[in-house]
Amino acid sequence: MKELLTNLFGEHLPFDLIQKGINIVMILIVMTIVIAVLKKIFSRKKVYKPDAKLDETTAGFLRKVLIYTVYVIAFVLILRSIPGLEALGNSILAGAGIMALAVGFAAQEALSNFISGVFIIVAKPYRIGDIIKVNGTMGTVEDITLRHTVINQLDNRKLIIPNSTMNKSDIVNSTIGNPETCGYVEVGVAYDSDIKLAMKVMREEIMKHPLLLDHRTAEDKASGVPQVMVRVTALGDSAINLKAWAWASSTGNAFAITCDSLEAIKARFDKENIEIPFPCVNIYDRKG
């Protein structure tokens, strides 16, 4: 190569500079190819089984780690190829442990989020696509990055929570295991109402819903346990609180059953003259 360049451009060509430029170009080309291969291997378009060792969540997180690692290695190699910066590149490689320690002290929160992200990927309390409830907010896990978890809330707004916070929070996962969910339908009736009739009306209206599931076991059915259980849960200050259990195939369906059943029960209570009490304020005029 050196003899060819000499014949073409003469003796005054800075061969070392050209060689280093070629090295930098080669590094960039290899880096681009490696990153493209990694993105192809860990493409989210692939179908990952939820119970597989390499599911969509693990693949996405591992892809990010490997790509960032390739960028760092390419950056160091380019520094070693630039005249005057070789020492800096060698120092980065030689002092990688010291730099990692310094970065750890300077960015403890970022490091904590990264380590928490690794724990989340390994333990899998939730995965991409899971419906979870954290800190009172419910939504679908959209992404798990090196720093945070992205949750798409029911109103289609993105909730971004640091991984360290997620790792310390109590999480309700509606997707792990059996996705069937119990919806609660709660209504208060007046003390002079017919409780048995009110419970019967609640059961009948909920039973009409097309999304309702029969969650009873064979033993429950044999012993006559009703498909929709309705019980008195409290004797309140102004109402008798009734609660019904309605099972559905998912959290969304359970929410739909609850909302639709409340509407149907209110209409049926009106026909049956069953009163749903509400707060009343009596105002006395002493001057009158």
Q: What is the dihedral of CA 43, 49, 52, 57, to 10 degrees?
A: 50
* Phi, psi dihedral angles at 175 (to 5 degrees): -105, -30
Summarize the confidence of residues 65-78 as an average pLDDT. Answer: 78
If one compares 73 and 268, the residue with the highest pLDDT of the two is 268
Q: Whole-model pTM above 0.85?
A: no
What per-residue confidence (pLDDT) applies to 9? 46
- Kindly report, residue by residue over 227-241, the tens digit of the pLDDT: 999 999 999 888 999
Most confident range (mean pLDDT) of 3-12, 223-232, 277-286 is 223-232
* C-alpha closest to that of 241 among 281, 185, 200: 185
Q: Are 260 and 207 in contact (CB under 8 A)?
A: no
